[in-house]
Amino acid sequence: MKIIRKPPALQRGDAIGIIAPSSPVEMELLERGVRELEAIGYRIVVSDAVLARRGVFAGEHQRRAESLLRFLEDPEIRAIFSARGGYGSNYVVEYLAARPFLRRLKLLTPKIVMGYSDVTSLLLFLNQALGWAVFQGPMVAREFAGGELFYDWSSLEQTLSKPNSEVILESDAWSLRPGEAEGRLLGGCLPMLTATLGTPQEVDTQGTILLLEDVDEKPFRIDRMLFHLRRAGKFRQVKGVIFGEMPGCGGGATAREGLKDVISEAFRGLDIPIIFGFRFGHTTGKCLTIPIGVRARLAAQDKVTLTLLEPAVRARVKKGARKRGKKKV
């Protein structure tokens, strides 16, 4: 088990930096999301590059990467939220993975970094290259822009701000294969995980409870990606699997029915619990905040629960506090 470096807990009044590592952002949605976060009690700092555009990207690749790096190095910024997903985080990862920038990153104190969808590429990089706990969770110009009907307030608060309490996430998800498992949480958007194969950032699934989600994909494409991961050996030492709601996927009356046989084939011969419909990432309901890198227990029976076995953040050191030690003589 790798050592996970946890960011300091987020508090009211803290500054949250907003970035756009992928596709272009609509100003109206961004402003609505910013107002929602300010109403919660956070101070919001929007990167000057967020509204940039270059084709299908939110500005030049280097500029997007440098915007993130500036926020990561700014001591006043306590957390970094993504405005949206789309496509393009892979270029940011490529830039930050270069040796000069990676050296700078390794000297930093971890910060809360949150998003989903295409941002999965960035979260995996921060988790695997730096050992940081990172967060699959709501985004500014999407869930926060829609208000509290679209993000789960309880999991957001408990996961980002509570360094001492046990977090239990209950779900109306279905148990496709009942059972219990313990492991570190890892995963995100299925195409982004598949795209890491054969790269320096290839996903390491050993000993994990694997999170998989997507949106508006046909069954054969889901099958192809799961087949690719299985043939690459990425399911061999997985302890359990959590599928998201997968809205628009499957081609059947429901995504669960449309993908049930695909999932069964992908994980044949593996005696592990598998659930479907956990509301993280792309979802029609309230988006959960789920930490990546921390240990958790999955219980998949008639009722599905995910229990975090350790906090995802650490307690803040109070200003003026000093470490006590033996007095030198």
Question: Which range has the worst mean pLDDT, 116-130, 154-168, 312-326?
Answer: 312-326
The pLDDT confidence band at residue 324, using thresholds 50, 70 and 90, is very low
Span 51-58, mean pLDDT?
A: 96
Q: How many CB atoms lie within 10 A of CB 83?
A: 31
94 is catalytic: no
Options 23, 89, 117, 155, the catalytic residue: 117
With 60 as the cut, is the pLDDT of residue 247 above it?
A: yes
What are the backbone dihedrals phi and psi of residue 21, each rounded to the nearest 5 degrees, phi first?
-80, -5
179-234 pLDDT, tens per residue?
Answer: 999 999 999 999 999 999 999 999 999 999 999 999 999 999 999 999 999 999 99
Instruction: Specify whether 61 is catalytic.
Output: no
Please check the confidence at residue 23 and state whether its pLDDT lies above 90. yes
pLDDT exceeds cutoff 90 at 291: yes
Query: According to the model, what pLDDT value does residue 170 have?
Result: 87
Q: Of 47, 82, 175, 213, which is the active-site residue?
A: 213
Token pair 């997507």 is at which residue?
Answer: 214
What share of the chain in percent tops pLDDT 90? Answer: 90
pLDDT digits (tens, 9 = 90+) for 108-125: 999 999 999 999 999 999
Backbone phi and psi for residue 175, each to the nearest 5 degrees, phi listed first? -90, 105
pLDDT band for 250, please (50, 70, 90 cuts). Answer: confident
Give the pLDDT of residue 254. 82
Question: What does the mean pLDDT of the chain come to?
Answer: 94
Of the pLDDT bands very low, low, confident and very high (cuts 50, 70, 90), residue 318 is: confident
What is the pLDDT confidence band of residue 325, given thresholds at 50, 70 and 90?
very low
Taking 50 as the threshold, does the pLDDT of residue 261 lie above it?
yes
Please tell me the predicted confidence (pLDDT) of residue 166: 81
**Average pLDDT for residues 287-301, to the nearest whole number?**
97
List domains and CATH numbers for the chain.
15-148 (3.40.50.10740), 167-308 (3.50.30.60)
User: What's the mean pLDDT in 18-28?
Assistant: 98
> What single DSSP character describes residue 9?
P
Q: What is the pLDDT of residue 1?
A: 54
| Active-site position among 22, 143, 245, 282 | 282
Handedness of CA 159, 162, 168, 170 (dihedral sign): negative
pLDDT of residue 327: 41
Q: Which residues are 291's β-sheet partners?
A: 135
Burial of 10-42, coded b for 16+ CB within 10 Å and e otherwise, reads beeebebbbbbbbbbbeeebbebbbebbeeeeb
DSSP class of residue 157?
A: H
Task: Name the band, by pLDDT with cuts 50, 70 and 90, for residue 321.
Answer: low
pLDDT at 319: 64
pLDDT value at 328 more than 50: no
Is 26 among the residues known to form the active site?
no
Percent of the chain with pLDDT over 70: 96
